[in-house]
């Protein structure tokens, strides 16, 4: 009989698609916990999120309302799910939903005893793409110059300030490089149609992109950090393969940022390393990345550590990891009975 403690964890981000959410890799990490025996409740937004049908990873899934529905409808839905499933912990994995979950942190804990380990509202706001320059100044990190724009009419004036190429970014997701004003307008329209306004324009930095997945304990301590370089990139700019690297400067930058912000929860840093050896922070994602399972494979189980921190356990910071481990994604066709699709589509549960 297992001596592990039983726990029920609800996880979002089950969209293991070509631009994948981190839910499935987070669940894989949780399932490898040596402390907890995990029951996973999937929280999905759409009926075709692949994680819903991965029954070896997800025990049961419930649809939840889109973030645009507001915090009250999310609360109502989670009250119902909690009545049935007795959730101990929720791990939200989408940037776009984090605002609502952060707002509900106290109510979850007080009214239902559900724990979360997410950044504070202040931490969430200050690392926002639109505020990244101020964030860099405050915490002593180099950040490419950026600016919010609200209309394509502002594009002609950008040339002098940013020059081409420049990067056009959505407020939550998506980014594209524009080499001409026409391309900039095109990207503006595409990205704003999907993610709304403002659009963030960022100075293009030449160099090699490196990424870090990390976990902060909320007191300034880096519990874990693993750096990765993408070795195969999809046309959406997502890593399809990557390799764990060891770069002291990158680790110093990560630990000093977590110390300075007292970051609480998982995060991903997107950094550009120039040929001169300078590091520019391009973006901070306030949750684990979709490649977080590489960290587990390298000896740092960040999702498990986050779960233990959330449950009030003492967690020793990881000291090291295996550089040179690689991840390679693959696509895999699951064959699913129509009644499963019917259940999640109509009843909102599977």
Partner 1 sequence: MNIKKNIALSDSGFVFDPSNGDSFSANPIGLEIITALKEGKSEVEIKKQIVDNYMTDEVTFEKDYYDFVSTLLKLNVAEEAKK
How far is the C-alpha of 343 from the C-alpha of 303, rounded, in Å?
29
Q: Is 251 in the site for partner 1 (CB under 8 A)?
A: no
Cα separations in angstroms, 296 against 28, 89, 134: 9, 20, 33
Q: Is 241 in the site for partner 1 (CB under 8 A)?
A: no
Q: Where does this chain touch partner 1 (CB under 8 A) — which range of 117-125, 225-233, 284-292, 337-345?
A: 225-233
Q: 235-249 burial, b for 16+ CB within 10 Å, e for fewer?
A: eeebbbebbbeebee
Beta carbon of residue 184, minimum distance to partner 1 (angstroms, whole number): 31
Q: Is 277 in the site for partner 1 (CB under 8 A)?
A: no
CB closer to partner 1 out of 228 and 307:
228
Q: Reduce the DSSP state of residue 349 to 3 states and report it.
A: strand
How far is the C-alpha of 339 from the C-alpha of 228, rounded, in Å?
40
Q: Is 253 in the site for partner 1 (CB under 8 A)?
A: no
Q: Where does this chain touch partner 1 (CB under 8 A) — which range of 89-97, 179-187, 237-245, 307-315?
A: 237-245
Q: Is 7 in the site for partner 1 (CB under 8 A)?
A: no
Q: How many residues bind partner 1 (CB under 8 A)?
A: 14
Q: Is 208 in the site for partner 1 (CB under 8 A)?
A: yes
> How many residues comprise the chain?
350
Task: Return all residues near 217 (Cβ < 8 A) that are at least 6 apart.
Answer: 223, 264, 309, 315
Q: Is 274 in the site for partner 1 (CB under 8 A)?
A: no
Q: Where are the alpha helices (DSSP H) in the chain?
A: 23-31, 71-85, 95-107, 121-126, 132-139, 158-162, 181-195, 248-261, 293-297, 302-310, 338-342
Q: Is 343 in the site for partner 1 (CB under 8 A)?
A: no
Q: Is 324 in the site for partner 1 (CB under 8 A)?
A: yes
Beta carbon of residue 229, minimum distance to partner 1 (angstroms, whole number): 4
Beta carbon of residue 145, minimum distance to partner 1 (angstroms, whole number): 25
Q: Where does this chain touch partner 1 (CB under 8 A) — which range of 39-47, 81-89, 195-203, 227-235?
A: 227-235
How far is the C-alpha of 38 from the C-alpha of 294, rounded, in Å?
20
CB closer to partner 1 out of 71 and 243:
243
The one among 71, 148, 177, 245 contacting partner 1 by CB under 8 A: 245
Beta carbon of residue 232, minimum distance to partner 1 (angstroms, whole number): 12
Structure tokens at 314: 């003492």
How far is the C-alpha of 224 from the C-alpha of 109, rounded, in Å?
25
CB closer to partner 1 out of 126 and 270:
270
Give a three-class secondary structure readout of 306-330: HHHHHCCCCCCCCCCCCCCCEEECC
Binding stretches for partner 1 (CB under 8 A): 208, 210, 228-229, 231, 242-247, 273, 323-324
């Amino acid at each position: 009989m297992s001596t592990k403690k039983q726990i029920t964890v609800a996880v979002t981000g089950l969209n293991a698609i070509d631009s994948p959410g981190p839910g499935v890799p987070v669940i894989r990490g949780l399932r490898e916990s040596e402390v907890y025996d995990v029951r996973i409740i999937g929280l999905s937004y759409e009926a075709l999120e692949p994680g819903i049908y991965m029954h070896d990873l997800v025990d049961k899934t419930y649809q939840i309302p889109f973030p645009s529905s507001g915090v009250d409808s999310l609360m109502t839905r989670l009250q119902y799910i909690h009545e049935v499933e007795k959730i101990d912990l929720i791990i939200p994995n989408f940037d776009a939903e984090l605002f609502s979950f952060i707002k509900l942190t106290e109510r979850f804990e007080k009214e239902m005893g559900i724990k979360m380990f997410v950044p504070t509202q202040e931490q969430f706001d200050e690392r926002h793409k639109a505020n990244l320059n101020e964030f860099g100044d405050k915490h002593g990190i180099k950040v490419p110059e950026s600016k919010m724009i609200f209309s394509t009419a502002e594009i002609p004036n950008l040339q002098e300030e940013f020059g081409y190429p420049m990067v056009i970014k959505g407020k939550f997701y998506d980014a594209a490089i524009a080499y001409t004003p026409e391309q900039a307008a095109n990207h503006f329209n595409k990205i704003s149609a999907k993610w709304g306004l403002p659009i963030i324009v960022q100075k293009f930095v030449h160099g090699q992109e490196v990424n870090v997945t990390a976990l902060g304990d909320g007191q300034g301590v880096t519990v874990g950090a693993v750096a990765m370089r993408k070795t195969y990139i999809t046309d959406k700019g997502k890593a399809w393969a990557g390799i764990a690297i060891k770069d002291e400067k990158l680790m110093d930058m990560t630990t000093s940022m977590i110390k300075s912000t007292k970051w609480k929860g998982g995060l991903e840093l997107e950094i550009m390393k120039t040929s001169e050896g300078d590091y520019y922070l391009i973006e901070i994602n306030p949750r684990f990345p979709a490649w977080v399972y590489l960290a587990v494979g390298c000896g740092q189980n960040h999702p498990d550590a986050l779960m233990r921190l959330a449950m009030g356990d003492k967690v020793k910071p990881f000291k090291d990891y295996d550089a040179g481990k690689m991840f390679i994604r693959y696509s895999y066709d699951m064959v699913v009975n129509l009644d499963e699709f019917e259940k999640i589509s109509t009843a909102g549960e599977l």
